[in-house]
Structure 1
Amino acid sequence: MKLSIIGSGYVGLTTGACFAEAGHHVLCVDSDAEKVNSLKAGEIPIFEPGLEALVKKNVAARRLGFTTSTEEGVDHGEVLFIAVPTPPLEDGSVDLSYMEKVAREIAQHLSSYRVIVDKSTVPVRTGEQVARTIREHARPGVEFDVVSNPEFLREGSAVADLMKPDRIVIGGNSDRALALMQKIYEPFMAPVLVTDINSAELIKHAANSFLALKISYINALAEICEVSGADVKKVAEGIGADRRIGRGFLNAGLGYGGSCFPKDIAAFIAISEQCGQPFELLKEVQRINDRQLNRFLDGIREALGTMTGKKVAVWGLSFKPHTDDVRASVAVELVERLVAEGALVSAYDPKAMSKVQELPVAAKIRLAASALDAAKDADVLVLATEWPEFASADLEALRSTMNSPLIFDGRNLLDPLAVRDFGFQYRGIGRGNVAERG
């Protein structure tokens, strides 16, 4: 099939590349001419495992192309996917101006039947608004349908999530549109859940909020583990073995961050209040997440006596491993707060260094060439992102390069007993007194 993706950011580019890999002919549209020219030249603006190879392969096979012209996109695709940003407003609600703009542009160029798909994460009832905008601006008599098709991508494994999804959600009320959508997804051999548009839109926010709830739950539990001497990792294994609960997202740490969870939870809270049904549970999820970094910094401050003039090595800057995304990264916020208190920060990340260089905080810290380089003469080492290479670090070399053998593990990545054997003092999240046991 001929498909167009309007918006070639993280979701749009990955979706377009995977649709092309499945055999469809895809045209990705973006208003950023520089980005489009870079993509045409084979330069991928984000790091995502497997994505660069997929883009280059399908561009070469002429199944994937790029343009700045919405008109060209509307003319090309039988189905038009809208994958533009939906950033938060100051009150937590969603800015739908990009969606509105694209809906108007699509309407102006419609000349025959098209299916318009909301792929962006949007509040419930956005599909109704998109349909209304298109009807108002399209020429009389032109037929179209609006469908909701939320994405469930995890940065760092997005290609796998798209190529082998655990479910596909399609929200719509037109048999004609639903038939085309099911045809698109036939090659993916995944369960398809067909709903009304409002339910499909709500599923996305509900899913992300539930995952964030699990993270805040285990972090709140970690506080109890610390004061009681229990080990949160063992507790998580015990409760996660229950199939009704599951082990996923029960990893205590510095809290959730990134471009999705904070935004989507704030949006869902705003949506619930607009519906007259405030979601108080999600407000507590936010509060727990906000205090997690505060508690962690309190521990470092207590151990060092003062932050001023102390050399702090930070391993990890991306909001999670296997991505270079530093948007709303807890690791970056940690660095910013350390610097604000007078610490001398040296930081390293396997993939996010170039993205960090674009941030204001980059001028106030040392960006190291390697993990060991970052730890040179450090008074404390802080693990902020759980990159696998940090778990296999040479502890003997690390001990010899640091000024003081103190580790604060914000992701519970290291083995406390192994670290102790090399002479380190270790502080994790909710690990109780595990490092003192023998």
Structure 2
Amino acid sequence: MQRHFLGMRAAAAALATAVTLTGCGASGDSPDKVTLTLVAADYDVNGGQSSKTYWASLIKKFEVENSHIDVQVQIEPWTDVDRKVAELVKEGEAPDMAQIGAYADYAAADKLYTADQLLSVPVQANFLGPLVQAGEQRRVQYGLPFAASTRLLFYNKELFEQAGVAKAPETWEELREAAELLKSETDVDYPFALPLGPEEAQIETMMWLLGGEGNGYVDPGGSYSIDTDENTATLDWVKSNLVAPGLTGPGTPGELNRKAAYAAFTRGEVGMLNGHPSLMRQAEKAGIELGKVPVPGRDGKPKAPLGVADWIMGFKENGNKDEIGAFLNFLFTDENVLAFASQNDLLPVTVSASEAMELNPRHKNLREFLQELPSAQLPPVDKTSWALVSDDIKRNIGKAVAPGGSPAKVLDKIAQNAALEEEKERE
């Protein structure tokens, strides 16, 4: 499931500048007032009002240009938003649009409009290639990428200097050697923080699997391939070379969540970890001098960098296709895409906005992340079974590297469960 950039950069960017709301999906002729409902996730990690402010400003501008459409937005925390939307859909009260973490179940149940039913051709062509493919089921796009991110290896420059680590690691062996120096020379709590707790273990694990020259969780044909020899060898290496020697810190990786690992990094208690762009701002506020490089692989660069995306979608239930399309065409203009990405230290989902961000000196700290995205591989979010398989990984993968744990047995059990879910998916 390697995700490849589609190579539409110049054409898509040029087309995108010509997009207007009178294109496909817009409806400026109806005299009747239509109210659209949107359920969206809260991205403000500090509990502030930034998500509400973003949507309020965008909707106000949209309604000025589309006086016959009102948009009502409901902001929900990430811990609740997917469940809230699922409940509304189950009760027959689906919102017109939802901005959440997954789309596949709704697409498989024929509850969503396709991308080409909602978006103008220039807007649809402007999405980055890996995100288009991740949003497709049976070669039809339903999931519209809303925000994206990649991961880099973050390290504490001051601790590296104290430990005598001359350069950031580029291979697993160099990472192990750096972690050993951090432990022996600085006695830092977490030479390498490995968050395999249930918060986001499926993402941390996938980075390692790609670094071990595996395909991640699926083979090139899209079927689960979790317990491969490459994946087993990867977790064997992590267990033997990082966890067993005590280089991943106190406790076991299966008990460490990403949020706790990031907090420890900002306290100066972590030498290295695989980091999300949002950690940069937190580290800077805490006075941590942060370095960042591509995530190392076994012998150098991984098979592919990891990409992650969140999604927005339009539901058929209320029949407001034209009005939903008008709003989404407006949402995906460069101005609005860049405003959201910049506000949250995330990556734009379109070609033209990505190019604009990369050229803007204000966003030079995101350039390394941007460069990873066009060739990134995403988790198999197009599979309706992925939610259950992902949860299985979150709850159990930490056991593979725990004392007495067996990577082969844990991967085999997860693979068996995934095969059962995949069979249901085919029925």
For normalisation by structure 1, the TM-score amounts to 0.28
Q: Comparing both chains, which one has the higher relative contact order based on Cα–Cα distances under 8 Å and sequence gaps of 6 or more?
A: 2
For normalisation by structure 2, the TM-score amounts to 0.29
Which of structures 1 and 2 has the bigger CA Rg?
1
